[in-house]
Amino acid sequence: MAKKALSHIAIIVGAALIVIAVLLPTFLVPKLKSLPLDTKSTTITDVREGALLDSGALAENKPVPPAKDDPECADEDNLPMHCFINTEVPLKSVRHVHMEDPADAKVVTFEVGTTILRMDRDEPKNLINASVDRVTLDRATQWPVDEPTSTIAMSNPQEPGGDQLRPFTRPGIQYQFPLGAEKKSYDYYDVVGLLEQDIDFMGEEKQDGETVYRYEMQIEPVNLYEQFKAHQTAEGRKLTEADKNYMASLRLKLPAAFWGEEGDDEIEMDRYYTNVRTVRVEPTTGMIVNGTEHIFQYYAKDDAEARAIAHGEGRKAEEANRNRTAMDFEAQWSEQTKDNQLSMARDSKKQLKIASVYAPILLVIIGVVLILLGIRGHRRS
C-alpha cells in the first residue's frame, strides 16, 4: 500500500509541476517584465574639451584665459562676446537615477539628477547647470502615466534656486525603453528642449558580444526662452518671479558690438538649443547601455538665424570664430558606465530567460519523470 501511495503522490506532483511549467511564463514572466522598485544607476561621460560661455568672466568683464592675448579683448570698455567663450573647457556630465514615491505594484517614479561640470575647477565652482527630473512610469508598459505628475527642476549657478516646471503629463520615453524594444521609432521627451520627438531605429550593433539596437534623433533649433515661457504660461498661468529670474539667462540684450554686429544699438538675442542624440538599447530589457549627445546652445536673433548657425557653413563659421556659443559639448558615456549598464541588462535578461525558458523546461522534465515513475510503481504494486 505504501508503494501505491507513493506512486500516486509522484503522479500528482509530476502533473502539478507540468501545470506550473505551463503557467510560469503566463504569471511569473509578466512580473519580471515590469520595472523593478529598486532601480539605481549612475551614468558618467568621458571628460571632453568643449566650448563654454563663462558667465563669471562675463559678469566681471574679464576675458577667459585663451582670449587674453587676443587684440580684440584688450579694450575692457568694448569686449565682444568671444572674449568670454572658453574653447578649452574640460566638460563632463553625470546623471543619477533612483526611485521615489509613488512606487507600488502598478507604478514607479524615477528621480533623475543631471549635472554638467567643468573639470578645471573645484566644487562648487565647477557646476555649469543642473536639473532634477521626476517622472512616474507604468511598471507594465514602461511608459509615463497619462497624468500631470511629471516635474523638472532647473537650476542655474548664477540664479540660485532656479525654477521648477509646473506639473505636466510626460508625452514620451526617456530613461528606459519598453521591455522587448522594437525596431521602430519611439516618442522621446527631451528635458532641455521641453519637447517630444521621434527617436528612430537605425540598426543593430554588437556591444561586448551583445546585440543592441541603435536609435538616433536630431533636435532642430529650439528657442529655450519661448519654450520655457510657453510651458509655464499654459492654461492661463502667470509667470512667477522665479520663472523670470531663470529666463533672464535665456534672453540677453547687449550692444551690437558685443555680438559681433555693426551699429550702436542694443540687440536682443535668445538662447537656442540643438542636439544629436544616439542611444544603444539592449532590446530584451529595454535598458540603455550606451549614450552620446552633441549638445549645442547658442544665441540668435530669430529662428531663421538660429537655423543658419546650427547647420552647414554657419556652424563652421561659429566653430572657427565663436561669438554666439553658450555651450558646445560632445558627451559620450565612459567605458565604465557602458560596462555597468550592460552588466545590469545582462543580469535582467538572464532572469527573464531562466523564468521563461529554462525553468519551464526543467519543471516539465522533472514532472514527466515523476509521472513515469509513478505509473511504473503503480503497475508493480
Q: Domain count of the chain?
A: 2
Answer yes or no: do 294 and 363 share one domain: no
What pLDDT is attached to residue 355?
A: 61
Give the mean pLDDT of 202-208.
97
Query: How far is 278 from 221, CA to CA, in rounded Å?
Result: 17
The DSSP element (H or E) to which 290 belongs, if any, is: strand 287-300
pLDDT(4) > 90:
no
Q: Could you tell me whether strands 107-118 and 48-53 are parallel, antiparallel, or unpaired per DSSP bridges?
A: unpaired
Reading the block at residue 84, the C-alpha cell is: 568670454
CB 381 within 8 A of CB 3: yes
Residue 326 or 32, more confident: 326
**Long-range pairs of 251-258 with CB within 8 A, sequence gap ≥ 24:** 251/225, 252/299, 254/81, 257/78, 257/80, 258/79, 258/80, 258/81
What are the distances in angstroms from CA 317 to CA 66, 119, 169, 311? 18, 27, 39, 10
| 1 found inside a domain | yes
Answer yes or no: do 1 and 142 share one domain: no
| 353 found inside a domain | yes
pLDDT for 84-131, tens place per residue? 999 999 999 999 999 999 999 899 999 999 999 999 999 988 999 999
| 101 found inside a domain | yes
> Which of 60-64, 74-78, 266-270 is least confident?
74-78
pLDDT for 291-309, tens place per residue? 999 999 999 999 999 999 9
Please report, rounded to a whole number, the percentage of residues in the chain having pLDDT higher than 90: 65
- Quote the radius of gyration of the chain (alpha carbons, Å): 28
What residue type is assigned to position 210 of the chain?
E
Answer yes or no: do 16 and 143 share one domain: no
Burial of 143 (C-beta count, 10 Å sphere; 0-12/13-18/19+): middle
What pLDDT is attached to residue 209?
A: 96
Answer yes or no: do 378 and 309 share one domain: no
Query: How far is 268 from 310, CA to CA, in rounded Å?
Result: 19
What average pLDDT is seen over the chain? 88
What pLDDT is attached to residue 349?
A: 86
DSSP type of residue 162: E
| 338 found inside a domain | no
Give the mean pLDDT of 311-332.
96
Reading the block at residue 311, the C-alpha cell is: 547647420
| 244 found inside a domain | yes
pLDDT(30) > 80:
no
Answer yes or no: do 325 and 269 share one domain: yes
Answer yes or no: do 283 and 354 share one domain: no
| 377 found inside a domain | yes
Answer yes or no: do 31 and 105 share one domain: no
Omega prior to 102 cis, within 30 of 0: yes
What pLDDT is attached to residue 161?
A: 46
What are the distances in angstroms from CA 152 to CA 3, 132, 193, 322, 378? 69, 6, 12, 30, 68
> Which of 64-73, 91-100, 150-159, 273-282 is least confident?
150-159
User: 2 lies in which domain range?
Assistant: 1-36+344-381
pLDDT(18) > 60:
yes
- Predicted confidence band of residue 156 (pLDDT cuts 50, 70, 90): low
Contacts of 266 (CB under 8 A, 6+ apart): 253, 254, 255, 256
Query: How far is 272 from 301, CA to CA, in rounded Å?
Result: 10
- Which residue from 297, 283, 340, 349 is spatially nearest to 97, judged by alpha carbons? 340
| 327 found inside a domain | yes
- Which residue from 47, 187, 176 is spatially nearest to 109, judged by alpha carbons? 176
Maximum distance among all alpha carbons in the chain? Answer: 109
Query: How far is 286 from 179, CA to CA, in rounded Å?
Result: 4
Instruction: Specify which residues 282 forms β-bridges with.
Output: 287
Residue 45 or 240, more confident: 45
Question: What SS3 state is found at 83?
Answer: helix
Contacts of 43 (CB under 8 A, 6+ apart): 94, 95, 97, 291, 333, 337, 341
Answer yes or no: do 329 and 348 share one domain: no
Question: What SS3 state is found at 310?
Answer: helix
What pLDDT is attached to residue 15?
A: 67
Residue 101 or 36, more confident: 101
3-state helix, strand, coil in the chain (%, to 5): 35, 40, 25
> Which of 74-88, 155-169, 173-187 is least confident?
155-169
pLDDT(14) > 90:
no
pTM, rounded to two decimals:
0.87
Answer yes or no: do 278 and 298 share one domain: yes
Give the mean pLDDT of 198-220.
98
Reading the block at residue 20, the C-alpha cell is: 506550473
pLDDT for 344-374, tens place per residue? 999 988 877 766 665 566 666 776 666 777 6
| 201 found inside a domain | yes
Answer yes or no: do 63 and 206 share one domain: yes
Count of beta carbons in the 10 Å neighbourhood of residue 59? 10
The DSSP element (H or E) to which 207 belongs, if any, is: strand 195-207
The DSSP element (H or E) to which 224 belongs, if any, is: helix 224-232
Answer yes or no: do 286 and 320 share one domain: yes
- Which residue from 92, 38, 45, 97 is spatially nearest to 336, judged by alpha carbons? 45
What pLDDT is attached to residue 197?
A: 97
Answer yes or no: do 271 and 307 share one domain: yes
